[in-house]
Amino acid sequence: MQERHRLGEEEITRELLRPLVTTTPMMWVGFIGLGAVLAIFVFAVSWMFYWGLGVTGLQRPNMWGFMIVNFVFWIGISHAGVMISAILRLTQAEWRRPVTRAAEVMTIFSLMTAMLHPVIHTGRPWRTLYWVFPYDFWRNLWPDVRGPLVWDPSAILTYLTGSTLFLYTTMIPDMALARDRTIGWRKVLYTILALGWRGNERQWKMQTIAGFLLSGLILPVFVSVHSIVSWDFAVSLVPTWHATVFAPYFVIGAIHSGVSAVVTLMALMRWLFRFDHYIRLEHFDAIGRLLIAVGTGWLWFFLLDIFFAIYPQEARELEIMDFRLFQWPFNVLTALIFIFGYFIPVPIWIFQRFRRNVKIMFWTSILVNVGMWAERYWLIKPGLMRKYEWTFDWNWYRPSIVEISIVLGSFALVGFLLLVFSKIFPPISVWEEKEGQHFAQQLQVGKRVVNAIVREF
Amino acid sequence: MAIREVLGLYRDLDSAVAAADALREAGFSRNEFEVLSNAPYPEGTFGEESGIHRLFVFPLIGAACGFAAGLLITGGTQLSYPLVTGGKPLLSIPPMIIIMYEGTMLGALIFTVLGVLFESRLPWIGRALYDSRITQGYIGILVRTAPEREARAIEALRKANPEDILTEGGKTGQQPARG
Nearest residue, CB atoms, B109 vs list A180, A218, A435 = A218
pLDDT tens digits, one per residue of A347-369: 999 999 999 999 999 999 999 99
Among chain A residues, CA nearest to B99 = A151
Q: In the prediction, which pLDDT does A363 show?
A: 97
Residues B28 and B73 in one domain: no
Using DSSP, state whether B73 is helix, strand or coil: helix
Q: Looking at beta carbons, which residues of chain B come within 8 Å of A104? A: none
**Is the CB of B99 less than 8 angstroms away from the CB of A13?**
no
Residues B62 and B111 in one domain: yes
Residues B36 and B62 in one domain: no
pLDDT tens digits, one per residue of A216-234: 999 999 899 989 999 999 9
* pLDDT over 60 (residue B177): no
* pLDDT over 70 (residue B174): no
**How large a percentage of chain A has pLDDT more than 90?**
62
Q: Looking at beta carbons, which residues of chain B come within 8 Å of A205? A: 40, 43, 51, 53
Whether residue B70 is contained in a domain is answered as: yes
Whether residue B28 is contained in a domain is answered as: yes
**Is the CB of B42 less than 8 angstroms away from the CB of A438?**
yes
* pLDDT over 60 (residue B178): no
Residues B103 and B157 in one domain: no
Q: CA of B147 to nearest chain A CA: how many angstroms apart? A: 22
Q: What are phi and psi of B144, to 5 degrees?
A: -120, 115
Instruction: Give the Cα separation of B110 and B124 in Å (integer).
Output: 19
Where does the pLDDT of residue A239 fall: very low under 50, low under 70, confident under 90, or very high at 90 and above? confident
Q: CA of A231 to nearest chain B CA: how many angstroms apart? A: 11
Residues B133 and B45 in one domain: yes
Q: Cα dist. A382→A329, A378, A397 in Å?
A: 10, 7, 9
Over residues B144-163, mean pLDDT: 88
Whether residue B177 is contained in a domain is answered as: no
Total number of domains in chain B:
2
Domains recognised in chain A with CATH numbers: 9-453 (1.20.1630.10)
Residues B42 and B63 in one domain: no
Residues B64 and B151 in one domain: no
Instruction: Give the Cα separation of B88 and B77 in Å (integer).
Output: 16
Residues B44 and B65 in one domain: no
- H/E stretch holding B9 reads strand B4-10
Where does the pLDDT of residue A5 fall: very low under 50, low under 70, confident under 90, or very high at 90 and above? low
Q: Is the ipTM reported for this complex over the cut 0.85?
A: yes
Over residues A161-178, mean pLDDT: 94
Residues B81 and B110 in one domain: yes
* pLDDT over 80 (residue A243): yes
**Is the CB of B92 less than 8 angstroms away from the CB of A146?**
yes
Instruction: Give the Cα separation of A329 and A319 in Å (integer).
Output: 15
Nearest residue, CB atoms, B43 vs list A161, A180, A456 = A456
Residues B109 and B67 in one domain: yes
Burial of A320 from C-beta contacts in 10 A (0-12 / 13-18 / 19+): buried
Q: Are A346 and A290 in contact (CB under 8 A)?
A: no
In the predicted model, what is the mean pLDDT of chain A?
90
Q: In the prediction, which pLDDT does B179 show?
A: 34
Over residues A177-200, mean pLDDT: 92
Whether residue B162 is contained in a domain is answered as: yes
> Long-range CB contacts (< 8 A, 24+ apart) of A135-140?
A135/B73, A135/B77, A140/B80, A140/B81
Domain C-terminal end among B98, B119, B140? B119
The contacts of residue A78 (CB under 8 Å, 6+ apart) are A106, A107, A108, A110, A111, A114, A159, A163, A254, A258
Whether residue B66 is contained in a domain is answered as: yes
Where does the pLDDT of residue A129 fall: very low under 50, low under 70, confident under 90, or very high at 90 and above? confident
Chains A–B, number of C-beta pairs less than 8 Å apart: 179
* Interior angle at CA B9, CA B4 and CA B10, nearest 5: 145
Whether residue B101 is contained in a domain is answered as: yes
Q: CA of A210 to nearest chain B CA: how many angstroms apart? A: 7
Whether residue B19 is contained in a domain is answered as: yes
b/e string for B64-95 if b means 16 or more Cβ within 10 A? Answer: ebbbebbeebbbebbeeeeeeeeeeeeebeeb
Domain C-terminal end among B81, B98, B119? B119
pLDDT tens digits, one per residue of A83-103: 888 888 888 777 788 888 989
Among chain A residues, CA nearest to B116 = A206
Where does the pLDDT of residue B176 fall: very low under 50, low under 70, confident under 90, or very high at 90 and above? very low
Whether residue B176 is contained in a domain is answered as: no
Nearest residue, CB atoms, A145 vs list B77, B109, B122 = B77
Instruction: Give the Cα separation of A457 and A209 in Å (integer).
Output: 10
Structural domain for B149, as ranges = 4-49+128-171
The CATH number for B158's domain is 3.30.70.120
Instruction: Give the Cα separation of B33 and B24 in Å (integer).
Output: 10
Q: CA of A147 to nearest chain B CA: how many angstroms apart? A: 8
* pLDDT over 60 (residue B167): yes
Nearest residue, CB atoms, B81 vs list A141, A176, A200 = A141
